[in-house]
Structure 1
């Protein structure tokens, strides 16, 4: 089963500033809830590029640490980039980050397409907590972005 979350937010800054913040992997920790214990494990460059592999440690459920590895598969400077899971808790994870200069700032859109392992158990987990947790993470991110910009 494939699921999708789409979120759009007006970021009150210019396109260059917005892009620099969101395309810097180390900033992801700043907009992720503390209970996730999110840490970037690999050295990251100042600017992302296609093929960049990033390793993280997260604790999304009951403080159990999990490894998560993503690859930046597409980068179109100041327009969009895509990260895809290479190792981690999802069967499939494809996250598009879109940026568009508009009046009053930057329209930022996240589109996350994902699926879970474990068949019927994955469906049940999605219904019971995974969807709610992802929605909560994006709600938190929205608030943090509002504070920062």
Structure 2
């Protein structure tokens, strides 16, 4: 299985606690995901649900060609105000390991995403990644950057 590695960084002009509260809530994920993905959290959580190791989050998502899929992730590690990790339990990827890191910086917080993923179907998955999947994953994070800027303002240092 071929594994791919991507990293994304974004500086936000908000306090660390505010960034943590927003990004550690699964209910906010739909707000920063492209609309065409039809991303819906199906877990029965409320806005005040605190993230914890072992937390299972389920979604409906249409990542490509409008095909609706179920996706389940587990929060495996949480260090409040520093990082959390989600891993796919089942869904569209052969592997999805996503680290979310938060570091206080002057005037805000630096958010770093470290993503390791694999596409199923061996050689066909590698072809699909080079033709479509990698571009779509990058597009999701590009959209998220803009959506987060729209929500919190652009960091000016």
| Aligned equivalents of 1:116, 1:133: Cα separation in 2 | 13
| Aligned equivalents of 1:41, 1:11: Cα separation in 2 | 28
**Aligned counterpart, 2:8:** 7
| Aligned equivalents of 1:65, 1:37: Cα separation in 2 | 8
Q: Which runs of 5+ in 2 are unaligned?
A: 153-157
How many residue pairs align between the two structures?
Answer: 149
The structure 2 residue matched to 1:116, chosen from 114, 119, 123, is 119
| Aligned equivalents of 1:32, 1:137: Cα separation in 2 | 7
Q: Output the TM-score relative to the length of structure 1.
A: 0.98
**Aligned counterpart, 1:40:** 41
**Aligned counterpart, 1:59:** 62
**Aligned counterpart, 2:139:** 136
Alignment of 1:20-99 (within 5 A): 20-45=21-46, 46-99=49-102
Give a deviation string over 1:69-101, Cα, whole Å, max 9, x none.
000000000000000000001111000000000
CA RMSD of aligned residues (A): 0.7
Is the partner of 1:82 in helix, strand or coil?
strand
Q: Please report how far the alpha carbon of residue 8 of structure 1 lies from its aligned counterpart in structure 2 after TM superposition.
A: 0.6
Q: Please report how far the alpha carbon of residue 44 of structure 1 lies from its aligned counterpart in structure 2 after TM superposition.
A: 1.9
Is the partner of 1:64 in helix, strand or coil?
coil
**Aligned counterpart, 1:105:** 108
**Aligned counterpart, 2:155:** none
**Deviating runs (4+, > 2 A) in structure 1?**
none
Q: Output the TM-score relative to the length of structure 2.
A: 0.93
